[in-house]
Amino acid sequence: MFRRPPAARPRTRAPRDPSRTRGALLQAAARRIHEAGFQATDLDAILAEAGVTKGALYHHFAGKDALGYAIVDEVLADLTREKWLRPLAEADDPIQALIAIVRNSPLDPDAIRCGCPVNNLAQEMSPVNGAFRERIARLLDAWIRGIADALARGRRRGFVRSDVSPDDAATYFVALYEGYVSLAKGVQDARLLASGQAQMVRYLESLRPASPRGHGRGARQAG
């Protein structure tokens, strides 16, 4: 036997970084849960993908449920903020911003297969777990409210018809979006979601004032 060097483990085994470990755990868990669902995802798969062991998981989280709660509160909340709330908050014209988001939504097979992570978790966990239900409800509410607020601001600025209810329109749009994503996942057909995007754009454009006639940017027909 050779005398093994003091650091026998893989070279420079990455200096301790608790917050990085915690983040890797959250990201890995979110990925697997997005693909297979919360209950069907076993901890070992998460640990393998995160590259840590069970000790690390139970050091950072009280259990599988707590990990799930953190995913809702942190990962999914961040995704929602980055994809929806921030672009809407920064845009002048909410309709234009929403259309851009819809058009940029992915249509690749993985996206079709996995659907919307928020909706997935909501459908699976809301009926059976009160803690999940509350957190998911908060998240969905923030999502809808963010759109509603943007529509209300846009209405004041003349980008949105004055007879649309921001709350109703925001809820309607989110329902339509989630519905198309769910349907495309159910029938496993990207074309359905592609046509759905076109329909969503049509709906959004129907919220515009009839004919502002020279409101600066000419609403040119998108190809």
* Contact status: 10 vs DNA (CB under 7 A): no
Shortest Cβ 137–DNA spacing (Å): 22
Question: Looking at 14-22, 82-90, 104-112, 132-140, which segment touches DNA (CB under 7 A)?
Answer: 14-22
How many residues contact its own copies, by CB under 8 A?
Answer: 43
Tell me if 207 sits within 8 A of 151, measured CB to CB: yes
Task: Determine how many CB atoms are found less than 10 A away from the CB of residue 110.
Answer: 9
- Residue 142 binds its own copies, judged by CB under 8 A: no
- 59 forms part of the interface with DNA (CB under 7 A): yes
For position 48 contacting its own copies by CB under 8 A, the verdict is no
The residue to which tokens 């996206």 are assigned: 111
128 near its own copies, judged by CB under 8 A: yes
Length in residues, the chain: 223
Binding to DNA by residue 63, rule CB under 7 A? yes
Which of 83, 133, 145, 161 is the binder for its own copies (CB under 8 A)?
A: 133
Q: Is 132 in the site for DNA (CB under 7 A)?
A: no
- Applying CB under 8 A, among 66, 192, 201, 209 the residue interacting with its own copies is 192
Supply the minimum distance, in Å, between the C-beta of residue 106 and its own copies: 15
Return residues touching its own copies (CB under 8 A): 35-37, 39-40, 113-115, 118-120, 122-124, 126-128, 133, 136-137, 140-141, 168, 171-172, 174-180, 182-183, 185-189, 192, 195-196, 199
